[in-house]
Amino acid sequence: MLSNNSELLSAAIWVCITLLVYLGSLLIYRVLGSRPLFHPMIFCIAILAMLLFYAGVNVKEYQSYTGLLSWLLGPATVALAIPLYTQLNSIKKNGLGVMLPIIVGGALAPLLALIGLYFLPMEASIKLSFLTKSITTPLAIETSQYIGGIPELAVVIVIFTGIVGAIFAASIYRLLGVKSEQAQGIALGTVAHAIGTAQGFQMSQKVGAFASLGLCINGVLTAIILPIIFFLFS
Partner 1 sequence: MHWFKYALALLSLVGFWFAGLLLSQFIALPASLLGLLLLLLALMWLKQIPSALLRVSQFVLGHMLVLFVPATMGILLFGEKLAGNLWWLVLTIIISTVISLGITAWIAQRHWQNHEPADIPIEDHDD
- Give, as ranges, the residues between 198 and 217 that touch partner 1 (CB under 8 A): 198, 201, 205-206, 208-210, 212-213
Give the chain's end-to-end CA distance (angstroms, integer): 32
Q: What is the DSSP letter of 8?
A: H
Plot region of 104 (φ>0 → left; ψ -120 to 50 → alpha; else → beta): alpha
Among 9, 13, 50, 231, binds partner 1 (CB under 8 A): 231
Q: What is the DSSP letter of 96?
A: G
Kindly state the smallest distance separating residue 84's Cβ from partner 1, in Å: 6
Residues 129-188 that bind partner 1 (CB under 8 A): 130, 133-134, 136-139, 141-143, 145-146, 150-153, 155-157, 159-161, 164-165, 168-169, 172-173, 175-176, 178-180, 182-184, 186-188
By beta-carbon proximity to partner 1, the closer residue of 9 and 82 is 82
Other Cβ atoms less than 10 A from the Cβ of 4: the count is 7
By beta-carbon proximity to partner 1, the closer residue of 41 and 128 is 41
Kindly state the smallest distance separating residue 51's Cβ from partner 1, in Å: 11
Measured between alpha carbons, how far is 4 from 195 in angstroms, rounded to an integer?
40
User: How many chain residues interact with partner 1 (CB under 8 A)?
Assistant: 118
By beta-carbon proximity to partner 1, the closer residue of 4 and 199 is 199
Q: Nearest CA to 135 among 195, 78, 85, 204? A: 195
Kindly state the smallest distance separating residue 4's Cβ from partner 1, in Å: 21
Among 128, 131, 191, 217, binds partner 1 (CB under 8 A): 191
By beta-carbon proximity to partner 1, the closer residue of 3 and 177 is 177
| Share of the chain residues as helix, strand and coil, in percent rounded to the nearest 5 | 85, 0, 15
Q: What is the DSSP letter of 79?
A: T
Find out whether 173 and 202 touch, Cβ atoms under 8 Å.
no
Is residue 7 close enough to count as binding partner 1 by CB under 8 A?
Answer: no
Kindly state the smallest distance separating residue 8's Cβ from partner 1, in Å: 17
Is residue 49 close enough to count as binding partner 1 by CB under 8 A?
Answer: yes
Measured between alpha carbons, how far is 221 from 7 in angstroms, rounded to an integer?
40
Kindly state the smallest distance separating residue 9's Cβ from partner 1, in Å: 18
Measured between alpha carbons, how far is 25 from 43 in angstroms, rounded to an integer?
5
Kindly state the smallest distance separating residue 100's Cβ from partner 1, in Å: 6
